[in-house]
Amino acid sequence: MKPKFPYYAVIFTNYRTAGDNGYQQTSERMMELAAQQPGYLGVDHAREETGITISYWESLRAIADWKAQADHLLAQKKGRETWYSEYRVRICRVEKEYAFSSDDTPA
Protein backbone atom coordinates (compact mmCIF):
# COMPACT_ATOMS: atom_id res chain seq x y z
CA MET A 1 0.00 0.00 0.00
CA LYS A 2 1.62 3.25 -1.16
CA PRO A 3 -1.04 5.85 -0.39
CA LYS A 4 -0.93 9.55 -1.06
CA PHE A 5 -0.87 11.73 2.04
CA PRO A 6 -3.00 12.64 3.72
CA TYR A 7 -5.16 9.58 3.92
CA TYR A 8 -7.45 8.45 6.71
CA ALA A 9 -7.70 5.63 9.23
CA VAL A 10 -10.79 4.44 11.08
CA ILE A 11 -9.76 2.84 14.35
CA PHE A 12 -12.54 0.55 15.56
CA THR A 13 -11.87 -0.92 19.02
CA ASN A 14 -14.46 -3.19 20.59
CA TYR A 15 -15.40 -5.78 23.18
CA ARG A 16 -17.56 -8.71 22.10
CA THR A 17 -20.48 -10.23 23.97
CA ALA A 18 -20.45 -14.04 24.54
CA GLY A 19 -21.35 -16.37 21.66
CA ASP A 20 -20.98 -15.98 17.92
CA ASN A 21 -24.62 -15.11 17.04
CA GLY A 22 -23.77 -14.75 13.36
CA TYR A 23 -20.89 -12.37 14.05
CA GLN A 24 -18.12 -14.19 12.19
CA GLN A 25 -20.03 -14.56 8.95
CA THR A 26 -21.16 -10.94 8.91
CA SER A 27 -17.69 -9.74 9.89
CA GLU A 28 -16.13 -11.52 6.92
CA ARG A 29 -18.85 -10.23 4.60
CA MET A 30 -18.25 -6.64 5.79
CA MET A 31 -14.52 -7.02 5.09
CA GLU A 32 -15.39 -8.11 1.52
CA LEU A 33 -17.85 -5.27 1.02
CA ALA A 34 -15.56 -2.61 2.48
CA ALA A 35 -12.83 -3.69 0.04
CA GLN A 36 -15.25 -2.97 -2.83
CA GLN A 37 -15.99 0.59 -1.69
CA PRO A 38 -14.49 3.54 -3.58
CA GLY A 39 -11.52 4.98 -1.73
CA TYR A 40 -10.75 1.83 0.28
CA LEU A 41 -7.02 1.36 0.86
CA GLY A 42 -6.69 -1.60 3.21
CA VAL A 43 -7.33 -3.04 6.65
CA ASP A 44 -5.48 -4.33 9.70
CA HIS A 45 -7.18 -6.57 12.23
CA ALA A 46 -6.38 -8.43 15.45
CA ARG A 47 -8.40 -9.57 18.45
CA GLU A 48 -7.34 -10.65 21.92
CA GLU A 49 -9.28 -9.23 24.87
CA THR A 50 -9.84 -6.12 22.77
CA GLY A 51 -10.78 -6.37 19.12
CA ILE A 52 -9.08 -3.85 16.84
CA THR A 53 -9.94 -3.24 13.21
CA ILE A 54 -8.28 -0.36 11.41
CA SER A 55 -9.46 0.45 7.92
CA TYR A 56 -7.66 2.92 5.66
CA TRP A 57 -9.36 5.29 3.23
CA GLU A 58 -8.49 7.94 0.67
CA SER A 59 -10.89 10.54 2.05
CA LEU A 60 -13.41 11.40 4.75
CA ARG A 61 -16.07 11.12 2.06
CA ALA A 62 -15.10 7.49 1.41
CA ILE A 63 -15.44 6.80 5.15
CA ALA A 64 -18.86 8.47 5.30
CA ASP A 65 -20.05 6.49 2.26
CA TRP A 66 -19.01 3.18 3.83
CA LYS A 67 -20.67 4.11 7.13
CA ALA A 68 -23.91 4.73 5.22
CA GLN A 69 -23.71 1.59 3.01
CA ALA A 70 -26.97 -0.40 3.41
CA ASP A 71 -25.57 -3.80 4.47
CA HIS A 72 -23.11 -2.06 6.75
CA LEU A 73 -25.92 -0.09 8.42
CA LEU A 74 -27.70 -3.36 9.23
CA ALA A 75 -24.46 -4.81 10.59
CA GLN A 76 -23.91 -1.73 12.76
CA LYS A 77 -27.43 -2.12 14.20
CA LYS A 78 -26.83 -5.82 14.92
CA GLY A 79 -23.51 -4.85 16.45
CA ARG A 80 -25.18 -2.54 18.97
CA GLU A 81 -28.05 -4.96 19.66
CA THR A 82 -26.10 -8.20 19.89
CA TRP A 83 -22.37 -8.48 19.19
CA TYR A 84 -20.64 -5.69 21.09
CA SER A 85 -20.80 -4.73 24.74
CA GLU A 86 -18.71 -1.66 23.92
CA TYR A 87 -17.03 -0.08 20.99
CA ARG A 88 -15.27 3.10 20.00
CA VAL A 89 -14.67 4.57 16.57
CA ARG A 90 -11.92 7.10 15.93
CA ILE A 91 -11.60 8.88 12.60
CA CYS A 92 -7.97 9.83 12.05
CA ARG A 93 -5.91 11.67 9.51
CA VAL A 94 -2.65 9.84 8.83
CA GLU A 95 0.06 12.47 8.81
CA LYS A 96 3.27 10.47 8.63
CA GLU A 97 4.30 6.89 8.14
CA TYR A 98 7.43 4.79 8.14
CA ALA A 99 8.06 1.11 7.69
CA PHE A 100 10.70 -1.48 8.46
CA SER A 101 11.29 -4.80 6.76
CA SER A 102 14.12 -7.15 7.72
CA ASP A 103 14.45 -7.95 4.00
CA ASP A 104 15.62 -4.37 3.38
CA THR A 105 18.53 -4.40 5.82
CA PRO A 106 21.92 -6.13 5.66
CA ALA A 107 21.98 -9.38 7.66
Shortest separation between residue 64's beta carbon and a second copy, angstroms: 11
* Cα angle 76-42-105, degrees, rounded to a multiple of 5: 145
Least Cβ distance, residue 11 to a second copy (angstroms): 6
Identify whether the C-beta of residue 30 lies closer than 8 Å to the C-beta of residue 71: yes
User: Which range touches a second copy (CB under 8 A), out of 22-30, 33-41, 81-89?
Assistant: 81-89
Pick the closer one to a second copy by CB: 70 or 107.
107
Binding to a second copy, residues 41-80 (CB under 8 A): 44-52, 54, 79-80
Least Cβ distance, residue 37 to a second copy (angstroms)? 19
Q: How far apart are CA 27 and CA 11, in angstroms?
A: 16
Handedness of CA 30, 2, 57, 51 (dihedral sign): positive
